[in-house]
A = this chain, B = another copy of it.
Amino acid sequence: MSKAAPEFYDVDMPIRSFVTKRLIGVKSGDTVQEAARKMVEFNTASLIVLDDDGEVVGFFTDTDIKKKVVAEGLKPDMPVSDIMVTDLITTDINSDIQGVLELMADKNIRHVLIKEDGDIVGIVTFSDLIDVERQKLGTYISR
């Protein structure tokens, strides 16, 4: 086998090891401005939205902010509940990478919430999956 051809990870691997368990969230009554500040602070492009019981009731990304607030010429003082997506796309923590990549492609999304025993416990982004490749690219470059 050539040293110049790094191996891919196995797409049958469970998604489990790619899941970020530190979910960054806001309350549904928080303003879009507060949410944007939190996104900048934590350097993230997406946030989950929680109700008063700590239940995940929504999700949104940079694109929702750009499309539903900035492109509409609005001041970001409306609650995040006005821009959040409530039709949450999730997959089980035991899904394999291939299934998650197919889900992302089917739904044209780059973030998937991860459930374990029915509860949302984390998130996987397209970048998380690609970062593995980038690391290999880095390895390749450093050779």
Binding site for B on A (CB under 8 A): 1-2, 4-8, 11, 31-33, 36-37, 39-40, 45, 62-63, 65-67, 69-77, 98, 101-102, 130, 133-134, 136-137, 140-141
Complex interface: chain B residues within 8 A of A62 (CB): 45, 62-63, 66
Q: How far is the CA of A101 from the CA of B133 in the complex (A)?
A: 13
Q: How far is the CA of A82 from the CA of B66 in the complex (A)?
A: 17
A5/B11 in contact, CB under 8 A: no
Complex interface: chain B residues within 8 A of A77 (CB): 73
**Nearest-CB distance from A33 to chain B (Å)?**
4
Complex interface: chain B residues within 8 A of A101 (CB): 137, 141
Complex interface: chain B residues within 8 A of A140 (CB): 8, 11
8 closest A-B pairs by CB:
A36-B70, A36-B71, A33-B73, A75-B75, A37-B71, A70-B76, A133-B133, A5-B7
A70/B32 in contact, CB under 8 A: yes
Given A37-B71, A69-B76, A101-B137, list of 15 further CB < 8 A pairs?
A1-B1, A4-B8, A5-B8, A6-B8, A8-B140, A11-B140, A33-B71, A39-B66, A40-B67, A62-B66, A65-B66, A73-B77, A75-B75, A101-B141, A130-B130
